[in-house]
Chain A
Amino acid sequence: MKKFLKELEMELKMLKMNNKDIDEILEDHKEMIDAAIDEGLNETEIEEKFGNPKNVAKELSKDTKESKKSVVINVENSDSCVKDNTSKYDLVEAFPVISGKITVEIGLVSENLSITTYEGESIQVFQRGVKEIKEYDILFENNVLLLKKKAKIKLFNFSSNDAKFLVLVPSNVELDGFNYKSVSGDANINGILTTKFNIKNTSGDIEITNIVAKDIKVSAVSGEIVMTGFKGESFEISTISGDIEAEKGVISGSMYFHSVSGDIDVEEIECEEATLKTISGDLEGKEFYPKKITLKSISGDIIIRNSDESREIDVINKKTVSGDIVIS
C-alpha cells in the first residue's frame, strides 16, 4: 500500500494543496491503512476499501477551494463594504423603491447572507455560488421585499453549500419590518432602521451591527450572535446553547434574555429593566446599566462590573437554586 500513499502525495501536490494539509492527510491514510492491515485484510481487499487516490485527492481539493472562497464582509463601514464586494457577486435583481415604508422578508436554509444599507436608490440583490436561482423567490411587491428559498424537500441542502446573497437597501428607506429566518446560514446584518426587527436562526452565526428598531427580537438555537450598536424600546433575545454578545446599546424599555445553557456577554448597555431567565447560562455585564434587574435560574449567574457606582441597580426579583447576582 506504499503505492497508494505515494500516489496520493503526488496527486495532492499537483492540486497545490499546502504542505501541512498534505502531511496530515498522508498521516491519516497511513494510520487507516495500518488499521486495515491489523485487521487482517489482504492487498486486494484493501485496494477495494481505499479505492483510487486520485478520487480522494479530488474530493479533498474541492473542499479546500470552497473554504477559500468565503470572503469576510466588513460591515463597520457599509459603503466600503459595497465597493469592495459587489464585484465578487452577480446582480440578480434591482428594485426601484417608490415611496412608503417597506418590509423585508428573508427565509433561507443554509445560504449565507449579508444585508446592509447603502447610498443608493434601489434595492439590489446579488448572489454568489447559488446553483439554482430558480429555487428562490426574489420579489419586491406591495413594498415587501421577499428573498426566500422555495419550499422544497431539503435533502440536497447538505453542507458544503457556499451560496451567498448580498442585499443592499437604500439608507433613506424606512422599514416597517425586518424578518430574517435561516437554518444554518451565517448572516451579517448592518444599518437597518425599522419598526420591528426579527431574527430566527438555528445554527448559523449572526453578526448584527448598527440597528435602530422599536422592537428587537433575536432567537437562535445553537448559533452565536454578536450585536454591536443598537437602539430601541424593547429587546428580547433567546438562545438554547449558542452564546450571545451584545455591545453598545440603548434600550428605553426592558431587555429580556432567555437562555438554556448559552452564555450572554453584554457591554456598554443601558436599559430600564433587564431580566435573565436561564437554566445554566451566565450573564456577564461590563458597563451594563439596567435600573432594575431580575434573575430566574437554576445555576446561571448574573455578574456585573461597572465603573460608575452612582448608578444603582435594583434587584427586584431573584429566584434561583444555586445562581447568584454579583454587582461590583
Chain B
Amino acid sequence: MNAQFKRGIVELCVLSELILEDMYGYKIINNISKEIDVNENTIYPILRRLTKEEYFTTYLVESDQGAPRKYYKVTEKGFNYYMELRESWDQFIGGVYEILNKGGKKNEEILKRIGDGIKNAKNE
C-alpha cells in the first residue's frame, strides 16, 4: 500500500480508537493490528505526532502488573480534527464504493462481466 495513504488511514484508526475511550499505547496498537496489517512501527509515530500537535493529551495510570501506563486522551482539537478526517473519509469511501459496485445495484452485472472476461481471455 502507498505509504502516505496507509499513514492517513492509520491516523484515522488511532483517532477512532481513542474517541470512545482513553487507552494506553499497547492497547491501541493491539486493537488496530488485530483488524488491519500494521504494526507498532506505523502506529507509535502517529500517536506521538498527534500528541505533539495537541490532538491528544496523556496521563499516567498505575497498573496492577507493574509500571504505570501512559493513557492517551483526545482533546477538543482532536475531536474537531477527527470530524474533519471522518468527513473526508466517508466522502472518499462512499465515492469508491459507488465506482466499484455502482452502489451495490450492479454487483451481478459486474460479476457476470468478470466471468465473461476470463472466458474470453482464455479463448484468445
Pick the contact of A35: B5, B25, B33 (CB < 8 A): B25
Closest to B8 in A: A158
- Bound complex: CA of A59 vs CA of B45, how far in Å? 6
Q: Say if the beta carbon of B95 comes within 8 Å of chain A.
A: yes
Contact stretch, chosen from A50-58, A115-123, A305-313, A316-324:
A50-58
B84-A183 in contact (CB<8A): yes
Pick the contact of A184: B8, B42, B84 (CB < 8 A): B84
Pick the contact of B5: A25, A155, A184 (CB < 8 A): A155
Q: Chain A 178-209 against B: per-residue CB contact (8 Å), 1 yes, 0 no?
A: 00000110000000000000000011000000
- Bound complex: CA of A87 vs CA of B12, how far in Å? 36
Interface size on A, residues (CB 8 A): 39
B88-A38 in contact (CB<8A): no
- Bound complex: CA of A241 vs CA of B78, how far in Å? 13
- Bound complex: CA of A31 vs CA of B29, how far in Å? 13
Q: Which residues in A have their C-beta under 8 angstroms from that of B116?
A: none
How many residue-residue contacts, CB under 8 A, span A and B? 113
Q: Chain B 3-22 against A: per-residue CB contact (8 Å), 1 yes, 0 no?
A: 01101100110000000000
A321 to chain B, nearest CB (A): 23
Closest to A67 in B: B52
Closest to A46 in B: B40
Q: Which of B24-71 contact A (CB under 8 A)?
A: 24-27, 29-30, 33, 39-42, 44-45, 48-50, 52-53, 63, 65-67, 69-70
Q: Say if the beta carbon of B77 comes within 8 Å of chain A.
A: yes
Q: A50-B40, A160-B49 in contact; A202/B84 too (CB < 8 A)?
A: yes
A31-B69 in contact (CB<8A): yes
Q: Say if the beta carbon of B101 comes within 8 Å of chain A.
A: no
Q: A28-B25, A49-B30 in contact; A155/B8 too (CB < 8 A)?
A: yes
Pick the contact of B40: A30, A32, A241 (CB < 8 A): A32
Pick the contact of B85: A55, A153, A158 (CB < 8 A): A158
- Bound complex: CA of A309 vs CA of B53, how far in Å? 44
B120 to chain A, nearest CB (A): 33
Q: Which residues in A have their C-beta under 8 angstroms from that of B88?
A: 153-155, 157
- Bound complex: CA of A59 vs CA of B48, how far in Å? 10
B39-A49 in contact (CB<8A): yes
A60-B69 in contact (CB<8A): no
Q: Say if the beta carbon of A36 comes within 8 Å of chain B.
A: yes
Interfacial residues, chain A to chain B (CB-CB below 8 A) = 25, 28-36, 38-39, 48-52, 55-56, 59-60, 62-63, 67, 153-160, 183-184, 202-203, 221-222, 241
**Could you show 11 A-B contacts with beta carbons less than 8 Å apart?**
A31-B26, A32-B24, A32-B40, A35-B26, A38-B66, A49-B30, A49-B39, A158-B12, A184-B84, A202-B80, A222-B80
